[in-house]
Each structure stands twice: as C-alpha cells, then as structure tokens.
C-alpha cells in the first residue's frame, strides 16, 4: 500500500487528548457542564450588563471564556472525528448532534454580546479603560465593531436556533459528496487525481484532468445547488446585518479597512503580467507549442520525481525550522512525535489540508493527505507554520489566541519559505536550482495571483446572485473561466472542461471571502523575510513575539514593530517586485 511505503500508515492523530470517543463519560460530563453553566450565567447576568463594575465584568468574561473553550473542545472533537470519516454515518450524526447542542447553549449566552454592544460609548469606554479588563480589552472592543450589524435579541436567538441546519449543514453535504466521489476507471479519490496533475507524463496529466472533470460533472447539479444556497444564505445574512458589500463581513472579521483589501487586490491584478511571462517561459522549457490547463503544474526538466517517505519529510521540515529558530523546530517536533498529525491517504477522508487550533488547554491538530511529493512536504511545512503559531498563541487564552485569517496565513507561508530556502541551499546543480525555483514560483503564484483571481470569481458570483437570482452551473463556469483567463492571458489555454473546476474548492462555501488572505500572507512574508535577511539575530525574537501575541491586537498594531504600512501601494509592490525578480533571474 502507498501509505506503507510512505511510512504514513500509523501517522494518525490521537483524539484521545480530547476525548476517548463519542461515548466517553468525560465528554458527557462536559456537555452537561456546558448546559448547566450557560443556564447559570443567563440567570445571573441576563439584563444586568449595564450595571456591572469592571471586576464583575471581568468575572463574567472569564466565565464565558471558560464555557466557550469547553464548547470548542467538544466541537473540535466532533469535527476531527468526522474529517477522516466523511462516509461514516455515526460520525456524521455525532457532528450534527454537537452542532445542535452548540446552538442550544449559545442561545443561553447570546444576551452578553447584545447587551454589551448596546452600552453607550462613554460607559463602554470607562469599562474598557479599567485596569482589571486589560487582558480582554481588545476582545471586548472587537465585539463592539459588530454593533451596527447586530439584530434584535429575538432575531439573534432565532438565527442561533436555525444555525444547525444552515450554512454548516451545507458544508457537511459538500464534504460528504466529495468524500464519496470517485474519479476515473480506477475509482480514485480527489487527492490521488489532483496529484497526477503534477506528473511528468503529459498523458497522465491529461487523463487526470479528464477524470476530475467527469467526476465533478457527475455531481455538478448538487454542487451548483450547494453553492447557490451558500450564496443566498450570505446574501440574506448581509442584508439583515446591513453589510453594504459581500466582502465587508470578512474584512471586519480580519480587522482590516476595506481600503487595505482594495489596495492589495488592485496591486496584484495589476501584475498579472508576471504570471503570463512565466507560463510563456514554461511552455518553452517544456518544449510545447501550447500550454494546456493540465500542463500548469508539470514538473520542469531536472526536477526529480521522487517519493519522499514521512521520516525524510520530518527531517527536511524540522531542519529548515531549526536553522531559523530552534524553539520553532522543537515545537514542530511535538506534532510529529505526539500524535498531533493525521497524514495517510484513506477512503472517506476529507481532501486538502488544515491546522485546527483546538483549544489552549489541549494543542492544535494537523491534517494532510500525504502522497510523498515535494509539494506535499511544502504542505506539511505550511500547516506546521499554522500549528506553531497556534501553539505559541495559546498562552493568550481562548479569546485572544484566535488570529485573523490574514496573519494566520503569514505564519504558514513563512514556514514554506524557510523550507524552500533550506532545500535550495542543498542543491549544487544549476539546472536543478532553476527547476526548483520555478516550482517555488508556481507555489507563490498559487498563493498570490490564483487566490486573488478566485477572489474576483467570488465577487462576480456573489454580486450576480444578489442581482439576478440563482445561478446555473454554466454561469459559475463562465465566471470561473473569465477570471482565470484574465490572469493567464494567452499563456495558458483553458479548455471548456476546466470551467467546472470551481466546484471542488471548499473555501468558497466554508468561508466566503477567505481567499485573499493567502495573497496578503504571501506578500507580507516576502517583506518580512527581507527584513530577516538584513537582521537575522534581531528579527527572530520579534517574529516569535508576533506569533505569540495571537489575536490580542489588530494586524496594524501587531505589525507595528516591523514598520509595515498595509495601506501603502508601495508596500504591496515591494512584495510583487520580489516575485518579479525571481522570475527575471530565471529568464
């Protein structure tokens, strides 16, 4: 078996660090404890927030944090238990049960945010200025950002009541559809087919593209319905909460000004010429007269197609981390050694990869689908970047450890770059170095340009759904091809079959608006890495401190020690110039 040869058969996470199983007595006790404490807090504090002193508000906030942390532990267990067993009816039923339990508990505590956000500015300001609330100042102030978008108590309660059968339920259906879906004559998984797009053999790539397209087409009516439902759900939610544009809620969550995001997107789309130049070059390097969509990830000559066993992946990643910071490497080693990673390819496992912060009292978990490629090693480094970030931020507590998406991606992309630089330094053959740099450029393109192109796709489908009503699969495909073709220009031929590939990307439905965070993180990392090269000794402690602060401040304040201006077009152009320079070296 592939997992045996890659040494991943036994690389499975130990969920017992959370609970022994769905029938664990401790889990049952914790569920009862949550229900009991939520009811108690409701009875003691409902309708009384305006009369609380700073010390009383501190007591309530810590109690709510303890409650939500325990809820997070229970929910994490249910989700991770399902993520590797999407075909298992019991795992699915248990996840839905926990979602409904969460909804019941949240109804009891919804009063807090509602009443807190209704306080007059002067009263809230006095409380926030109190020394007792210093640790929670950013969290409590952050809640008040949502005051203009808050509904009445009956409305908020009703939305919580219906949440278990809302957006999350449609995400579960998407995971089930993709988990059950088999591709091609060999009935392979999504991950196995996507891996073939990186094959050196053109016919294997072409067949993988046909298999993926055929498989997606077989379920396109369901996938299009899921997408339409998510778009409509967000449209209704935004209208009720008075968000003017489809991306406003995501920007508010990321604690970014809309103007910052507009500047980022404008600068990236303004440099699509970098992508087009590269793929014109790649076409020549591959000796092709036309570069098809399934050729985008073809390995260049002199880049060996090797299968890297898990032990070698571990060594490569930890060595790259250790060269930067022994502390970072030591934390990452714990993920490998303590059963915090799930790596093998197994039937019914969710596709892709993620790092879940879990709760501060336990530790993060990482899921990858490891097939042994250099790209997979980079994915492991990426997710461990998240994991180290989440581990360091845990000391901030449940409320302050959660980092905005844009800075979360910074840690993961930085980890990828460390791995790349270490691997590149070991290569002596110039042709191998060139091929390896090209592969890194493609990874950067996927993180910067492709993610922004996907943001442009999202913009079109959200706005058209709001203006015209439900979209057909053909409308989705038309917008997908239009936004992808704008990025590639004439450098890559995108066939009509490629038009359905929007339908397997989970970010569009799980976290609408999320994808620009990757581009933000990549360009920020290029700037940070440049600072590191100029002051290695002084940079490392500042960087680890940035990770350790978690979400205890907004991105503008957290990045202040690095003298970065996120609203400056010149800042983003600086990151893009690094990419341009890498390409120029190859050219």
For the domain that residue 17 is a member of, what is the CATH number? Answer: 1.20.140.70
Q: What is the pLDDT of residues 481-523, one digit of tens each?
A: 999 999 999 999 999 999 999 999 999 999 999 999 999 999 9
3-class DSSP state of 340:
coil
Using CB atoms within 10 A of its CB, is residue 587 exposed (0-12), middle (13-18) or buried (19+)? exposed
Give me the residues paired with residue 188 across strands. 183
Count Cβ atoms below 10 Å from residue 500 Cβ, excluding itself. Answer: 23
Question: What Å distances lie between residue 26 and 30, 74, 97, 361, CA to CA?
Answer: 6, 10, 17, 15
Report the C-alpha gap between 75 and 67 in whole angstroms.
12
Indicate whether this model's pTM tops 0.85.
yes
Residues 534 and 333: their CA atoms lie apart, in Å, by 28
Mean pLDDT of the chain: 94
Contact (Cβ atoms closer than 8 angstroms) between residue 108 and residue 44: no
For position 318, what pLDDT does the model report?
98
Residue 268 and residue 517: Cα distance in Å, rounded?
13
Task: Flag the least confident range among 11-20, 74-83, 404-413.
Answer: 404-413
The range of the structural domain enclosing residue 82 comes to: 8-165
pLDDT exceeds 70 at position 40: yes
Is residue 321 a contact partner of residue 45, using CB atoms and an 8 Å limit?
no
Q: Residue 573's pLDDT is what?
A: 94
Please report the pLDDT score of residue 366 as a whole number: 98
pLDDT digits (tens, 9 = 90+) for 49-102: 999 999 999 999 999 999 999 999 999 999 999 999 999 999 999 999 999 999
Residue 327 belongs to some domain of the structure: no
Residue 569 has pLDDT above 70, yes or no: yes
Rounded-to-integer distance, Cα 535 and Cα 415, Å: 18
φ, ψ of residue 58 in degrees (nearest 5)? -60, -45
| Residue 232: inside a domain | no
- Rounded-to-integer distance, Cα 301 and Cα 206, Å: 18
489 class by beta-carbon count within 10 Å (0-12 exposed, 13-18 middle, 19+ buried): middle
In the chain, % of residues over pLDDT 70: 99
Asked if 231 contacts 246 with a C-beta cutoff of 8 angstroms, the reply is no
Which tens digits make up the pLDDT trace of 230-287? 999 999 999 999 999 999 999 999 999 999 999 999 999 999 999 999 999 999 999 9
DSSP string, 269-326: HTTHHHHHHHHHHHHHHHT-SS-BGGGTTPPPTTS------HHHHHHHHHHHHHHH-H
The predicted-structure confidence for 357-373, as pLDDT tens digits, reads as follows 999 999 999 999 999 98
Write the DSSP symbol of residue 183: B
Question: What is d(CA 463, CA 368) in angstroms, rounded to the nearest whole number?
Answer: 34
Q: What are phi and psi of 418, to 5 degrees?
A: -60, -45
What local confidence, expressed as pLDDT, does residue 375 receive?
86
Exposed e or buried b for every residue in 296-318, given b needs 16+ CB within 10 A?
A: bbbbbebbeeeebebeebbebbb
Cα-Cα-Cα-Cα dihedral sign, residues 132, 137, 139, 144: positive
Tokens of 419: 């791995």
Whether residue 355 has pLDDT greater than 60: yes
- pLDDT at site 413: 92
Mean per-residue pLDDT for 14-40?
97
In angstroms, rounded to a whole number, what is the distance separating the alpha carbons of residues 576 and 580? 6
Q: Is residue 210 part of a domain?
A: no
Phi, psi of 506 (to 5 degrees): -70, -25
Question: Residue 301: its pLDDT value, please?
Answer: 84
User: Which of 350, 379, 367 is closest to 189 using CA atoms?
Assistant: 350
**Cβ contacts of residue 102 below 8 Å, gap of 6+?**
71, 74, 75, 163, 164
Lowest-confidence range among 97-111, 226-240, 297-311, 437-451?
297-311
Residues 569 and 548: their CA atoms lie apart, in Å, by: 28
Q: Beta-carbon neighbour count of residue 40 at 10 Å?
A: 13
Q: Is 526 part of any domain? A: no
Q: What is the pLDDT of residue 203?
A: 96
- Please give the structure tokens belonging to residue 469: 């009503």
**CA separation for the pair 348, 181 (Å, rounded):** 9
Whether the pLDDT of residue 472 is over 60: the answer is: yes
Residue 433's pLDDT is 86
Residue 304 has pLDDT above 90, yes or no: no
Number of domains the chain contains: 1
Find the largest Cα–Cα distance for the chain: 75
The reported pLDDT for the residue numbered 163 is 87
Q: Does residue 1 carry a pLDDT above 70? A: no
Residue 560 lies inside a defined structural domain of this protein: no
SS (H, E, C) 191-253: HHHHHHCCCCCHHHHHHHHHHHHHHHHHCHHHHHHHHHHHHHHHHHHHHHHCCCCCCHHHHHH
């Amino acid at each position: 078996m592939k997992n045996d040869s890659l040494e991943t058969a036994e690389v499975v996470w130990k969920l017992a660090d959370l609970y022994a199983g769905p029938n664990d007595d401790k889990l049952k006790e914790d569920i009862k404890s949550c229900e009991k404490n939520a009811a108690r807090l409701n009875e003691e504090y409902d309708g009384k927030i305006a009369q609380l002193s700073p010390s009383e508000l501190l007591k309530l906030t810590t109690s709510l944090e303890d409650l939500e942390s325990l809820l997070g532990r229970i929910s994490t267990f249910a989700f991770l238990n399902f993520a590797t067993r999407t075909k298992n009816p019991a795992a699915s039923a248990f996840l839905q049960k926990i979602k409904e339990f969460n909804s019941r508990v949240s109804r009891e505590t919804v009063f807090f945010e509602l009443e807190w956000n209704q306080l007059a500015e002067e009263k809230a300001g006095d409380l926030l200025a109190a020394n007792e609330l210093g640790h929670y100042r950013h969290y409590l102030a952050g809640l008040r950002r949502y005051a203009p978008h808050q509904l009445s108590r009956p409305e908020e309660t009703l939305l919580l009541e219906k949440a278990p059968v809302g957006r999350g339920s449609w995400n579960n259906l998407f995971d089930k559809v993709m988990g059950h879906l088999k591709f091609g004559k060999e009935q392979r998984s999504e991950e196995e087919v996507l891996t073939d797009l990186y094959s050196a053999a053109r016919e294997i790539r072409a067949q993988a593209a046909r298999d993926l397209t055929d498989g997606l087409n077989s379920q396109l009516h369901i996938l299009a319905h899921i997408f339409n439902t998510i778009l409509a759900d967000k449209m209704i939610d935004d209208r009720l909460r008075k968000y003017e544009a489809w991306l406003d809620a995501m920007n508010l969550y990321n604690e970014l000004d809309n103007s910052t995001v507009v500047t980022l997107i404008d600068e990236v789309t303004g440099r699509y010429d970098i992508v087009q130049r590269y793929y014109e070059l790649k076409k020549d390097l591959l000796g092709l007269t036309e570069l098809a969509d399934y050729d985008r990830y073809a390995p260049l000559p002199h880049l060996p197609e090797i299968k890297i066993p898990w032990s070698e992946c571990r060594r490569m990643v930890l060595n790259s981390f250790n060269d930067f910071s022994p502390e970072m490497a030591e934390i990452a080693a714990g993920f490998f050694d303590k059963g915090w990673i799930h790596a093998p390819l197994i039937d019914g496992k969710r596709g892709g990869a993620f790092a879940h912060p879990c709760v501060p009292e336990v530790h993060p978990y990482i899921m990858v689908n490891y097939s042994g490629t250099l790209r997979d090693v980079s994915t492991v480094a990426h997710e461990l970047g998240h994991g180290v970030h989440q581990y360091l931020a845990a000391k901030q507590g449940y409320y302050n450890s959660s980092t905005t998406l844009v800075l979360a991606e910074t840690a993961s992309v930085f980890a990828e770059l460390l791995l790349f630089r270490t691997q590149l330094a070991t290569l002596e053959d110039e042709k191998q170095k060139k091929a390896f740099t090209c592969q890194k450029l493609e990874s950067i393109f996927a993180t910067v340009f492709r993610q922004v192109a996907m943001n442009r796709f999202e913009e079109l489908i959200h706005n058209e759904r709001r203006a015209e009503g439900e979209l057909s699969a053909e409308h989705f495909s038309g917008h997908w091809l239009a936004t992808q073709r704008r990025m590639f220009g004439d450098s890559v031929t995108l066939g009509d079959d490629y038009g359905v590939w929007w339908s397997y990307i989970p970010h569009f439905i799980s976290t609408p608006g999320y994808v620009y965070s990757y581009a933000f993180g990549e360009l920020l990392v290029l700037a940070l890495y440049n600072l590191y090269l100029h002051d290695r000794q002084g940079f490392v402690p500042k960087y680890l401190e940035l990770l350790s602060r978690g979400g205890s401040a907004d991105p503008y304040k957290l990045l202040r020690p690095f003298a970065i201006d996120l609203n400056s077009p010149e800042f983003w152009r600086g990151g893009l110039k690094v990419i341009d320079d890498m390409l120029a070296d190859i050219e």
